[in-house]
């Protein structure tokens, strides 16, 4: 994490000391590094240019669910990103941020008619269809609007992503996608519908993948389907392999973005030339965590230190409502003191003020800390703010983007009035 380092005993994001951010905007606050974000996106974009073939070999669609802040979406859009969305709300965010709807793909198992209408109105690039009933609904809505809807099927390749069961999505027993064996039939149905245009094929097998072997296995299975469809005269414009690359939270060593893409394009290029008769096919990616995960942290202040008979607790002002991942997946996030102290460390559980035993951010960490100190919960840029809630009527954290030696507020801290603004009394 070169964008997060100690200078003179104080943790910085780029050139900004984190105590300055806390002083100006309070805590808890999410802090992102613009340079880290840029570097991660660029790792994808450059590898696609380097290893892909043709002028326009790939589109990188940032997975909006991982972080949907407008400033982040705008920055990625300016770098050339498309977007992977799963709701009408995410589409509206992309548009508000200045993103290009013609680079938007719409995933998710439960698209409503209204969401489909909105997406068609904005001429998105593609719907990733997850069932036949959904296909028929898209066809009906497109018909009513006098349009043709571009679609892919999200195919479930039945490969084991070897990740946490809650974030593994490519196995037969998952709710996602259409079954591999049923996929050909689904395409035949789609090809016969008047208001549907078949443009691609899609899969996404899971998240926080450390090895690219499952992704490459899924790629092979997708390629096999593309070939079989081509034999039936159904020609696809793109192959979307989804997102899923993991990051380092503790000591994991995920495959590097460039290495994965090199292996992937070696396979794709060889196949195109020898088996796909040189026809172009655009590769699409839906990364979230690997772009934004290690570009952000959650900054929090220690309220109390509490020594217990078996455990010591550092009670901080961030909680499970701000960062759900530990409570939900027992996820491990590194915790760093903003100010390095020359004192003996003790073992602490870092917990929030929410009335749930599950409200912890980290367990059994060796830290030299005092009441009032700031702590940085690292690698919190993905699925941090987007999964936050107002449980316990807690206002959601502010968000700040660091850019060199400057920092900018990109989301104000909510006010309590915001929380009940939509509520009303009985007559």
Catalytic positions, please?
A: 355
Smallest distance, Å, CB 424 to ligand LLP? 33
Smallest separation (angstroms) from ligand LLP to the CB of 67 = 9
The nearer residue to ligand LLP, 207 or 294, going by C-beta atoms, is: 207
Q: Which is nearer to ligand LLP, 12 or 204 (CB)?
A: 204
Smallest distance, ligand LLP to C-beta of residue 169, A: 6
3-state secondary structure of 90: helix
The CA distance from 366 to 374, in Å, is 15
User: Closest CB to ligand LLP among 213 and 419?
Assistant: 213
Binding site for ligand LLP (CB under 6 A): 63, 66, 84, 107, 167, 204, 207-208, 242-244, 286-290, 325, 329, 382-383
| 260/407 with CB nearer ligand LLP | 260
CB of 331 to ligand LLP, least distance (A): 7
Residue linked to tokens 């009335």:
355
Cβ 26 to ligand LLP shortest distance, Å:
25
Supply the minimum distance, in Å, between the C-beta of residue 18 and ligand LLP.
23
Please identify, using beta-carbon distances, which residue of 52 and 293 lies nearer to ligand LLP.
Answer: 293
Residue 246 or residue 352: which is nearer to ligand LLP going by CB?
246
């Amino acid at each position: 994490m070169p964008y997060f380092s100690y200078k003179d005993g104080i943790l910085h994001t780029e050139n900004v000391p984190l105590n300055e951010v806390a002083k100006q905007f309070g805590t808890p606050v999410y802090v992102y590094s613009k340079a880290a974000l840029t570097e991660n996106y660029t790792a994808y974009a450059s590898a696609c240019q380097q290893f892909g073939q043709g002028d326009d070999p790939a589109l990188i669609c940032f997975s909006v669910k991982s972080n949907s802040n407008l400033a982040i979406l705008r920055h990625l859009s300016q770098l050339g990103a498309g977007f992977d969305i799963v709701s009408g709300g995410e589409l509206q965010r992309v548009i508000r941020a200045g993103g290009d709807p013609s680079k938007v793909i719409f995933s998710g198992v439960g698209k409503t008619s209204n969401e489909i209408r909105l997406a068609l109105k904005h001429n998105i690039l593609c719907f990733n269809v997850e069932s036949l009933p959904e296909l028929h609904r898209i066809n009906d809505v497109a018909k009513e609007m006098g349009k043709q809807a571009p679609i892919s099927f999200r195919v479930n390749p039945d490969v084991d992503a070897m990740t946490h069961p809650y974030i593994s999505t490519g196995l037969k027993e998952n709710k996602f996608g259409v079954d591999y064996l049923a996929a050909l039939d689904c395409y035949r149905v789609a090809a016969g519908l008047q208001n549907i245009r078949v443009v691609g094929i899609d899969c996404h097998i899971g998240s926080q993948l450390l090895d690219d072997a499952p992704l490459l296995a899924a790629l092979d299975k997708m390629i096999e389907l593309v070939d079989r469809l081509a034999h039936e005269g159904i020609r696809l414009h793109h192959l979307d392999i989804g997102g899923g690359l993991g990051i380092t939270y503790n000591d994991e060593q995920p495959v590097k973005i460039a290495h994965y893409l090199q292996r992937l394009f070696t396979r794709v290029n060889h196949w195109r030339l020898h088996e796909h008769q040189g026809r172009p096919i655009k590769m699409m990616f839906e990364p979230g965590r690997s772009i934004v995960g290690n570009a952000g942290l959650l900054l929090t202040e220690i309220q109390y230190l509490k020594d217990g008979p078996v455990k010591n607790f550092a009670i901080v002002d961030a909680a499970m409502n701000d960062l759900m991942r530990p409570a939900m997946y027992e996820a491990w996030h590194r915790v760093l003191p903003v100010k390095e102290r020359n004192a003996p460390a003790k073992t602490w559980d870092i917990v929030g003020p929410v009335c749930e035993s599950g409200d912890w951010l980290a367990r059994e960490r060796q830290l030299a800390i005092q009441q009032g100190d700031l702590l940085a919960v690292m690698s919190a840029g993905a699925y941090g703010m987007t999964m936050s809630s107002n449980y316990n009527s807690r206002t959601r954290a502010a968000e700040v983007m660091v850019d060199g030696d400057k920092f900018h507020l990109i989301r104000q801290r909510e006010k309590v009035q915001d929380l009940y603004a939509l509520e009303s009394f009985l007559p």
